[in-house]
Amino acid sequence: MPAITATAPGKVILFGEHAVVYGRPAIAVPVNQVRARVVISADPHSAPGRVLVRAPDVGLEAELGELPEKHPLAQAILGTLKAFGLERMPACAVRISSTIPVAAGLGSGAAVSVALIRATATFLGQRLPAERVSALAYEVDKLYHGTPSGIDNTVIAYGLPVYFIRGQPIELLKLPVPFTIVIGDTGIQSPTAIAVGDLRRLWQEDPGRYEALFDAVGVIAQAARRSIESGKPDELGPLMNENQVLLAKMGISCPELDRLVAAALSAGALGAKLSGGGRGGNMIALVRSEAAASVAQALERSGAIRTISTSVRLRAQ
C-alpha cells in the first residue's frame, strides 16, 4: 500500500479574534504558503495496533500507545478511529511535519490536527467531509485551549475564507475581488490560552466594558464581510485599523505588534492589525499587490523575523 499524504494550510484571522469567543462574528482565511503535512506508511512487519508517531520538528518519536490519551496527536488519531467505530490502527508509521510557525496565531495546532485526521481516515480507507474533519479537530483544539471558538479548525478544514459565528453553521465568503495581505511575525511565541484567559478575567471584572468592545468588533466584522462580498476589499484597510484599536483596548496587543503595525502603515499599507491570540505572534497588513514587497521589507526592518505575502482568493493558486 503506498504511503498516504495529507496536508492542511495555516490561517489568519482578518477580523474578530477574541470577540469571536464571546459569540461575535469573525472572518478568517487560509494561508496556503505554510502547511502541516502528515505521511502514513503501512508497516506490514509489525503487529496491528503498533503505530509509530514521529514529529521531528518538535523532537517527538513515540509509540501511539505510549502517548498520554489527552496528547493532541493521540487524540486526533484515536478520535478518527472512534468516528468509524474502530478500535485500532493497522500497524503503521506516522510522520508529522509543518512549516507553520508555532504559537504565532497561524493555526499550527489545528492544521496538524486536520492533516492528521484526514491522513488517518484515508489510511483506514474512509472519507470524511470537511464538516466532520472540522468537528474532530475541534475536540483536539479543546486540549490546547479550554474554550476555543472553533474558528481555527473550521477555516483550516474547509481551506476557504469563512465568516464564522460560534455554534452556528459555517458560512463561506463570496470573494469576487482577490486582495493581498502581508503577514509579519514578531517572533514572540504567545500561547493563545493565556491571552484568552487574561481577557476572560478582565471581562468577568467589568463585563459592560468588554461586551461593548466585543460588540464594536462584531460590527466591524459585519462591515468587512459586506466589503469583501461586494468586491471592495480596499475598504478593509480602515476597518483593520479600527479593529486593532479595539484589540489594544482589550489588552491583546503589545509594543512589538504596535511597532509592526505602525511600520506597515508608514510603508503604505491600507490597514494593519494583529492577528490571532495576540501579545506576540503575527500581524497582518492589507496592501496593494505592488506594495507587498516594500511593506514586507519595512516589517523586517522593524523587527519581523519572517514575512509572508499571500493573495486572498477563493482557490489556492
∠ CA(203), CA(208), CA(213), 5° rounding? 75
Q: Is 134 in the site for ligand PMV (CB under 6 A)?
A: no
Among 18-26, 122-130, 226-234, 243-251, the segment contacting ligand PMV (CB under 6 A): 18-26
CB 238 within 8 A of CB 212: no
The half-sphere exposure of 78 on its side-chain side, counting CA atoms within 13 A, is 14
Retrieve residue 301's grid coordinates.
526592518
Name the H helices within 149-254: 151-158, 192-205, 207-229, 236-249
Residue 152 among the catalytic residues: yes
Which value, in Å, is the radius of gyration of the alpha carbons in the chain? 20
3-state class of 175 per DSSP? Answer: coil
Judged by beta carbon, residue 121 or residue 153, the one nearer ligand PMV is 153
Q: Is 17 in the site for ligand PMV (CB under 6 A)?
A: yes
End-to-end CA distance of the chain: 30
CB 25 within 8 A of CB 18: no
Q: Is 279 in the site for ligand PMV (CB under 6 A)?
A: no
Shortest distance in whole angstroms from residue 276 CB to ligand PMV: 3
Residue nearest to ligand PMV (CB): 276
Q: Is 186 in the site for ligand PMV (CB under 6 A)?
A: no
Dihedral of alpha carbons 16, 20, 21, 23, sign: positive
Judged by beta carbon, residue 20 or residue 269, the one nearer ligand PMV is 20
Judged by beta carbon, residue 30 or residue 105, the one nearer ligand PMV is 105
The half-sphere exposure of 79 on its side-chain side, counting CA atoms within 13 A, is 27
Among 37-45, 147-155, 211-219, 305-313, the segment contacting ligand PMV (CB under 6 A): 147-155
Q: Is 107 in the site for ligand PMV (CB under 6 A)?
A: yes
Residue 192 vs residues 106, 197, 199, 279: alpha-carbon distances, Å: 11, 8, 11, 9
Retrieve residue 207's grid coordinates.
463585563
Name the H helices within 255-291: 255-266
One symbol per residue from 29 to 58: x for binding ligand PMV (CB under 6 A), - otherwise; what is it? ------------------------------
Choice among 152, 206, 215, 258 that is catalytic: 152
Shortest distance in whole angstroms from residue 315 CB to ligand PMV: 23
Residues in the chain: 317
Q: Is 148 in the site for ligand PMV (CB under 6 A)?
A: yes
Q: Is 237 in the site for ligand PMV (CB under 6 A)?
A: no
Shortest distance in whole angstroms from residue 238 CB to ligand PMV: 22
Retrieve residue 188's grid coordinates.
514572540
Q: Is 101 in the site for ligand PMV (CB under 6 A)?
A: no
Dihedral of alpha carbons 201, 203, 205, 209, sign: positive
Among 129-137, 144-152, 243-251, 301-309, the segment contacting ligand PMV (CB under 6 A): 144-152
Interface residue with ligand PMV among 161, 271, 276, 280 (CB under 6 A) is 276
Residues annotated catalytic, as ranges = 152
Residues at the interface with ligand PMV (CB under 6 A) = 13, 17-18, 20-21, 105, 107, 148-149, 151-152, 192, 196, 276-277
